[in-house]
Each structure stands twice: as C-alpha cells, then as structure tokens.
Structure 1
Amino acid sequence: MLFNTLSGRFLLLTAAFVMLAEILIFVPSVARFREDYIMSRLERAQIASLALLATDGMIDQNLEQELLANAEVFNVVLRRDEVRQLVLSSPIPAPIEQSFDLRDAPAWELIRDAVACLADPQNRVIRVIGAPVRQAGLLIEATMDTGPLRSAMIDYGLRILGLSALISAVTAALLFLAVRRLLVTPIRRVVNHMSVYAEAPEDARRVIEPQSKVVELREAEEALQSMQHQLTGALRQKDRLAQLGGAVAKVSHDLRNILTSAQLFADRMETSDDPMVKRAAPKLVNSISRAVGLCESTLAFGKAEEPAPTLTRFMVSTLIRDVVESEKLAAGENDVEFVTDVPQTLAVRADHEQLYRVLTNLVRNARQAIEATRAPGTIEISAGEEEEGWWLRVGDTGPGLPERAREHLFQPFQGGFRKGGTGLGLAISAELIRGHGGRLELLRSDAEGTEFVIHLPRDLVLGLAAPATRIVAATEA
C-alpha cells in the first residue's frame, strides 16, 4: 500500500537510483582494488628481492621461501641495468595462463580484467608486471595465484555493497521525509480542501485560500480557488434556472388567470357607468399588484447571484430592533405584538445585510400569517450564545404551516403558504444561510404557532487548520 502513494514510490525510486549509482561506482572501485592488491604484492616481492641482493645471494632456502610466502608470489624477476634477473623462485603449481602489465594500463583494461577475475572461479597462475618503487630497476615481474586475489576482491565488493545499501537507505529516508513535508503534505491539503468543498459547494467559505510557499503549488491553489468560485456561482445559477424552468408553466398559468380577471374588470370600467365600478376598482388593483409581485420575484430569483458573505462582528440587538421597527410600520393598525429577548451585549459574526434579509423574511412571514387569521397574535424574537456559536429564534402564535408547505419549505415556487405567495423568500433565505456555512431550520409548526431557529457557528471554515464554520439558519415560513 505504501508504494501506491507518491511518497512511497519516490522512496522506492530514490533507493533504486542510489543503488544504481553505487553500482556504477562499484565496478571501477573493484578494478582499483585489484590494481592496488597486485601492486602491493609486487612491492613485497621487490623488498624480498632487495633483501636477497643485499646478501649477494647468500640466503638460506627456507628464508627465501618465507620471503616468497610473505609476498604471496611464486617467483620474482627484477630487471636492472638492462639485465633481467630471476631473484627469487619456487616451484609453480601450474602453467602461467595469462600476463598482466600494470604499467600505464588504461582504465577500461583494468575494469575488464577485474570483471573477468570475479567471473572466473578457477584458481589460475598469472604473471604480473609493474614498475619498481623508487626507481629500483626497470621493471619487476612476479607470478601469483588468482584465488586469494579473487577472494579479497569479493570481500571488498561485499563491504562496498553493504555500505552502498546503507547510504541508499539513509538517503532515501531523508528524501522521503523531505518530499512528504515539501510536496505530499501541501498536495494532501489541497485534496482535503477539495473534499471539504465538495461537501457543500454552495458554501463560499469552503473555497480554498492559497497558503503554499512553493510557487507551483501556490499557482495550483490559486487556480483551484478561481475554479471553485466559478463553480459555486455556476451551481447556484444552474440550480436557480432549473427551478425557474420547472415553475414557468405554473407561473404562466397563474399569471394568465390573474391578468384575465384584471382585463375583465378593466373592460367593465371602460364600457359601463354602473356604480359597481367603485367596488371593482380595488379588485383590479389587487389583481395587478399580485401579477406584478409574482413577475418581479420570479425574475429576481432567476437572474440574481448572491455574493459571498462579508463576515463582521456586530451587536445583534441593533439589527433585530431595525427589523421589528420596519415590521411594526407594515403591520399598521393590525393587532400584532412584537416581543424581543436579546442580550444587549450579544455580538455575532455574520454578514449584516444578509442576516437582516433573513430575519426580515421570517418576521414578515410570521406577521402575515397572524394577520390572515384576523385575530391578535404575538411574534417573539430571541437570541443567545452556545458552545459552537450563536442562535437566533423567531416564533409566532399564528395558525402554523400547512402540511404541503412543510414538505416543500425551501423549494422555490412550492413552499409558499399564503395566497399569492411564491415561496421564494424561504428559498433565498436558506441559500444565504448556507453561504454562511450554516442551515435554516424549522423547529416546530402546529396549531399553537411556528418557530424557526438560526445557528451561527463560532469557528471559520478552514480546509485543514480549523473545523468548518457553520451558520444554522432558521427556515422561513
């Protein structure tokens, strides 16, 4: 499973490439070791021959054999003053199969001979020729076994391979950690942002905020941010257009009926002096008003795109007071009582204008529901603070929502419950609250009244650093 990840594959490739580099170094290194091994034997043979020459050849045979054994050669030939002299000798166990001249041998030749020695498991007798040290002659020549040479080369190669494996493992581990920190973690952050955004594309605060210091990754984050902004707008527009398309037939039918009635009244007003004209005039005005209101709401919903919320901290009591004062004026002489229970010091984080629109929709729906009963009623607005954020509650003592309205509460053109209503108010309000990262919720609706609640989150939505900010908004009637 590890090697199916980017960092795992990078670890594997790093180890492989380091090992390949070590192998490319290993072959010349073994060739150099072979050359040094042979030269050390020639140096020992030279020292042994000089010891013999210093005694004018008067040396015990046992001592001669000991010198040859120490040099690990069978015989020594030294050329001095153009004279080739066999200085030390002993029986050679087998014929000499090959000669190697190490004087000015090219690198490729040394590598070739080293590889051939490693590949040949047979113990063979070879002749090696080299230049004496400190110019003690023209050349020195010795015969030796390849068995000890090959064993020494294998031992050296195993040590080099072990060291190479250790270097490869350490290098790969360091690069693995570096890649995880510099590349994998930022990429994973982008992926997490995409997952968080996919959960609620309409939530504008789930759009990624570029943070990477790596130029390429930051460009990717900026491109993703631009795409998410465009996608959020496109999804909203597409959803609205789809809903608008489904409602066009209903709107056209209702609008035709309304305008037909208005036309009949208008025709009667033009052709008759009947006193009933005075009573027909208000009906005509109401019919035309309903038609105009329906058209305006439909067109506004079809083309509008709500901007992302601008979050600020403000006292919610001031906002609620403005909403109540506006609705009191609209209520006029109707017996509707407004009750507020909001702490004066309670501050929330939200878009002031959008929250005002949501509360206005909720309070207006409550007022109109009470007025439709022609009986006194009360609208209560309260707010408070909880561990996860803030809540705002709007309740009324109206007749409650019909079953059909509750089933399609936030669907445009279907959630309306007043005669002539379109249901767009709640749909738009719910969208505004989702844009804050929250939800609009109906707590109850029965014969004793209706109650909505808005929950505003305390934390902001950060794809990786913090939990998602949610604003739970009360549903509109």
Structure 2
Amino acid sequence: MSDKSTDKATKTKLWGFGGLSSRLLMLTIIFILLGEFLIFVPSLANFRNNWLNEKLAKAQIATLVLDASPDNMVDEALEGELLSHVGAEIVALKRGEMRQLILQRPTNSRMIEASFDLRNESVMQQIMAVFDALLAPENRLIKIRGATKFDAGDFVEIVIDENTMRAAMWTYGKNIMGLSIILSIIVAAMIYMALHWLLVRPIKRITQSIVDFGQDPDQSKNMIVPSKRTDEVGIAEQQLLQMQLELQTTLKEKNRLAALGLAVSKISHDLRNMLSSTQMISDRLQNSEDPTVARLAPKMEAALDRAINFCVRTLKYGQAKEEAPQKTFFALQPLLDDVADTLSLDILKTSADENIGWDLNIDEDDLIYADRHQLFRIILNISRNAADILKNHQSANQTLPRIFICYLATQDMQYLVVADNGPGVMERAKQSLFNAFQGSMRPGGTGLGLAISQELAQAHGGDIKLIDDLQGDEPYAKLIEPKAMKGAIFLIELPNKSQTDNA
C-alpha cells in the first residue's frame, strides 16, 4: 500500500503544478509580459510625441491663416474656431528676436503648470513624460514647444489642456494593450508548445524512467526506450539506457554473489567437518615408513590446514572476505616447491604425454616480503591456469610445455613474473581478465582465480597485470625472455619493506 502511495506521489510531483511544465508556462508568461511592457511604454511615448507634433503642425497652419489676413488680424469667432481646430488655449510663434502671440482664448486665466520642448527631448525624457502625463492631476495646462516647418520661424508654442492628450493616450494604450495581449497569448502558446515538445516532454520521460527504474531495477520495462533524436536529448537517452543496463547487470551479479556466498557458507560448514576427519588421517600417515608418504604427508597436512582455515573464515564473515596480509620475510624457493607439489607437476601429463616443465629463475637464498599464505594462493591460481592450458595445448614446433617463474627485488618493489609458452590470452578475455565470473582463460573455468589473485595483490599494496607490450626501461624487463615466454606473461608487483615503512 505504501509503495503505491509513494508511486502516486512521485508521479504527482513530476506531472503536477510544481513540475517543469507549469514552471515553464509561468516563466513564458512573465517574460512575454515583461517584453510587452518594454515595448508598450516606448510605443506610448512615440504616440504622445506624434500627437503633440500634430498639434504643433495645426498651430503653424493657424499662424499661416493669420499671416494671410489683412493687418494680421482675425475676428473673435474665427480665432475661437482656429483654436478649437488646433485644440489649444494659446498659440505663439517666435521669429528672430520677436515672440508673437498669435491666438489666445480670452476666457483662459489658468496658470501653466508644466513645459516640454520637443526639439531636444531624449528617449528617456519622452518615456518619463508619459508617466508624468498619466499620473498628473486633472485639468493641468502644459506648454509645448516645437520646431516650425518651411522656415516659418524659430519655433512654435502652444498651451493645451492635458486632459485631451491623456484621454487619447488612454484610448491608444487600451487598444495597443488588447492587441498585445492577444499576440502575447499566441506567441506564448507557440513558445510553450515548442519548448514542451522539444525539451520538457523528453526530460519528463527521462525523469520518469529514472524514478521507475530506481523503484524496481529488475524490470526491463522500467528502462527508457530511446527516441531517434540525434541531439543532446537523444544522447542523454542513449547514455541513460546504457547506465541502466550496466546497473541492472551489476545488481544481478551482486545478487548472484550474495546467493553464492550463502551457498559457500553452507558448503564450508560441511566441508570443514570432512576436512577435519581427513586431517586426522593425514596425522596418522606421518608415521608411515614409506619415504614418499612421509615426504608428502606434511605438505598434505599444510594444504588441509589452509583449506580448513579458509572454511572457518568463510563461515565467520559469511563471504569469501580476505584478511589483511600478515607480511614477513620468508624464503621464496620452498613456497614455489609447495606450489609445484600442489599442482602435481611430477605426474601431470599433457595431451601429447609430456611433462610440464617448472622453470625457476631464482636464487635459493632469495627472500620475499609478503603474506606467505596469500602469496601461495596468488602464484597457485596463475600457475594452475597455465598448467590447465598447457595440458590441452599442442605446440606447432614440438616445444616442451613450460611454466616460468622469475623474481627480482629492488629497494622499493618486488617483481614476480609467472609466464608460460602456451597459446597466450585470447583477445576477448583481456578486457575482463580480472573480473569475477568473466575473465576465465580456459573452458570450464569460473573466472575467479585471477580476480582473487588481483584482490590479494592489491591488499599488499601492489597489483597484477598482463604484460602485452614489454617496455625495455622497466626494472622487470630483464626477467622476461620473449622467445621462450610466448604465452601469457603475468607480472606480480609487491612493495618491498622499505617502501612499506615509508608509506
């Protein structure tokens, strides 16, 4: 029940009022209105400027009528008619040094409250004048001065009642505002639809896929289905699908490992009991008078001890978790002899009935600084892979199968080379060579040996790598013989005690 409620809440958040679509709509409306405001005010200022210039032009025509009359005089009726035509209270004209009052209403006795000169008004002054006109008190008289045409004088002046201009501005403003709102709605709808289709809709698909996949990553239906777009959105969809596939694979592997860990714990419990009984038999074999049995019995007991300890650790942690390495200096030669005995190289035969050679390039007094038990497992895993491959490989030039182990210690590092003269590592296996369950080098392998070996080497502060391209300036280069080591060449790097102490 709670899962369904959470799912519904998530979808409401994605698709509801607080989602990307509603925010995009609100931003589109705000920006369109802001743009309209930035256009509307200059447009209204331009209307005011044109309206006043038209009044000034009519006033100049009235002066021409007066100039054409006898003695520059007209009767009172004609004067009133001319002023009404101009829409002014007073008309004046300046010629040279003389300023002449052309027309005036005799009944006008109000004071002039503001004056504007259109000849040198800037854009900002025109805009400020618009707000001044709209917010000014009623019945205000203003004086307007403008340039004349046809060199009729220096300038012409009129005094008008601002109410007439304000009414015309309000009418124009309402008309242009209504038209702007209609156009804004159309433009906003087109912008919103375009952005919604190109961006918001695919982003919602991506977001919904992330949410659905996060709630149930095991279901492939929750993965995104990429569109055929080739832009950034299409790339994001492709990358999201790739990440979902990789994550699903990783989760399946983890579930598989968890199930495997439980199975290993159960097996280890029963195997420990069986190994304990086998160890008792091994103790009795040590008393045998057969020299071969007496020689192999301690090694078999050591192998049983390692197996029992590993089972105990597996049961203790519930998984194959490695303990921190207990590093000491010890002789390398006996360890390699134990590896050879564990591999049973003295009796192991190839398909051509040949023994596998064990070629050691080390000194008897060589010491190595590492955890003896973990280093034994590292070398054993790599050598076992080499032995299994050589056992089934037939050389074209009848070369005897061999496993090579070389060792070099410097002041800071220790280098162990484990190589063979087999067919080498397949190209498809190199990419996931050290990945669990993926890097098997032989048919029937689990792909765990190299993964475990690398984990143990890295726990020492070192690493394991496959040598493909030999660099001649590397310290370990002199250990490798390319003509003899034609197969896989693995390099084990472990820090020496001096480097460990410095760290």
Which residue number in structure 2 is paired with residue 162 of structure 1? Answer: 178
Which residue number in structure 1 is paired with residue 56 of structure 2? Answer: 42
| 1:238–1:129 CA distance, 2 compared to 1 (3 A) | same
Which residue number in structure 2 is paired with residue 107 of structure 1? Answer: 123
Unaligned ranges ≥5, structure 1 = 272-294, 304-477
| 1:101–1:199 CA distance, 2 compared to 1 (3 A) | closer
Give, in whole Å, the separation in 2 of the partners of 1:27 and 1:36. Answer: 14
CA shift for structure 1 position 138: 2.1
| 1:79 counterpart letter in structure 2 | K
| 1:175 counterpart letter in structure 2 | I
Which residue number in structure 1 is paired with residue 135 of structure 2? Answer: 119
Q: Aligned pair 1:244/2:222, yes or no?
A: no
Q: Aligned pair 1:223/2:239, yes or no?
A: yes
Q: Aligned pair 1:98/2:97, yes or no?
A: no
| 1:64–1:172 CA distance, 2 compared to 1 (3 A) | same
Give, in whole Å, the separation in 2 of the partners of 1:82 and 1:9. Answer: 65
Conserved? CA contact 1:96–1:127, under 8 Å: yes
The secondary structure found in structure 2 opposite 1:105 is: coil
Unaligned ranges ≥5, structure 2 = 1-14, 288-310, 321-503
Give, in whole Å, the separation in 1 of the partners of 2:269 and 2:30. Answer: 74
| 2:126 counterpart letter in structure 1 | L
Which residue number in structure 1 is paired with residue 79 of structure 2? Answer: 64
CA shift for structure 1 position 114: 2.2
Mapping for residues 374-453 of structure 1, pairs under 5 Å: none
Give, in whole Å, the separation in 1 of the partners of 2:60 and 2:279. Answer: 130
| 1:42 counterpart letter in structure 2 | L
Mapping for residues 174-193 of structure 1, pairs under 5 Å: 174-193=190-209
| 2:253 counterpart letter in structure 1 | Q
The secondary structure found in structure 2 opposite 1:134 is: coil
| 1:264–1:75 CA distance, 2 compared to 1 (3 A) | closer
Give, in whole Å, the separation in 2 of the partners of 1:192 and 1:203. Answer: 14
| 1:125–1:197 CA distance, 2 compared to 1 (3 A) | closer
CA shift for structure 1 position 140: 1.1
Conserved? CA contact 1:130–1:140, under 8 Å: yes
Conserved? CA contact 1:31–1:110, under 8 Å: yes
Give, in whole Å, the separation in 2 of the partners of 1:138 and 1:236. Answer: 93
Mapping for residues 199-214 of structure 1, pairs under 5 Å: 201-203=217-219, 207-213=223-229
CA shift for structure 1 position 176: 1.2
Mapping for residues 198-347 of structure 1, pairs under 5 Å: 198=214, 201-203=217-219, 207-213=223-229, 215-257=231-273
Give, in whole Å, the separation in 2 of the partners of 1:88 and 1:269. Answer: 141
Task: Tell me which of the two structures has the higher relative contact order, counting C-alpha pairs closer than 8 angstroms and 6 or more residues apart.
Answer: 1
| 1:13–1:192 CA distance, 2 compared to 1 (3 A) | closer
Counterpart pick for 1:12 among 16, 26, 46: 26
Give, in whole Å, the separation in 2 of the partners of 1:12 and 1:113. Answer: 32
TM-score using structure 1 length: 0.51
Which residue number in structure 2 is paired with residue 138 of structure 1? Answer: 154
| 1:104 counterpart letter in structure 2 | N
CA shift for structure 1 position 58: 5.0
CA shift for structure 1 position 207: 4.2
Conserved? CA contact 1:81–1:138, under 8 Å: yes
CA shift for structure 1 position 27: 2.3
CA shift for structure 1 position 118: 1.4
| 1:58–1:192 CA distance, 2 compared to 1 (3 A) | closer
Give, in whole Å, the separation in 2 of the partners of 1:37 and 1:100. Answer: 13
Which residue number in structure 1 is paired with residue 292 of structure 2? Answer: none
| 2:202 counterpart letter in structure 1 | P
| 1:83 counterpart letter in structure 2 | M
| 1:43–1:98 CA distance, 2 compared to 1 (3 A) | same
CA shift for structure 1 position 182: 0.6
Give, in whole Å, the separation in 1 of the partners of 2:286 and 2:111. Answer: 138
CA shift for structure 1 position 130: 1.0
The alignment of Structure 1 onto Structure 2 pairs a total of residues equal to 277
Which residue number in structure 1 is paired with residue 377 of structure 2? Answer: none
After superposition, the C-alpha distances for 1:374-418 in whole angstroms (9 at most, x for unaligned) are xxxxxxxxxxxxxxxxxxxxxxxxxxxxxxxxxxxxxxxxxxxxx
Which residue number in structure 2 is paired with residue 78 of structure 1? Answer: 93
| 1:59 counterpart letter in structure 2 | V
TM-score using structure 2 length: 0.49
Which residue number in structure 1 is paired with residue 362 of structure 2? Answer: none
After superposition, the C-alpha distances for 1:40-96 in whole angstroms (9 at most, x for unaligned) are 111111212212221224533212201101111112112335432222221224012
The secondary structure found in structure 1 opposite 2:120 is: coil
| 1:68 counterpart letter in structure 2 | L
Give, in whole Å, the separation in 2 of the partners of 1:198 and 1:106. Answer: 61
After superposition, the C-alpha distances for 1:274-315 in whole angstroms (9 at most, x for unaligned) are xxxxxxxxxxxxxxxxxxxxx9xx9xxx99xxxxxxxxxxxx
CA shift for structure 1 position 173: 1.0
CA shift for structure 1 position 134: 2.7
After superposition, the C-alpha distances for 1:25-46 in whole angstroms (9 at most, x for unaligned) are 2222222222211111111112
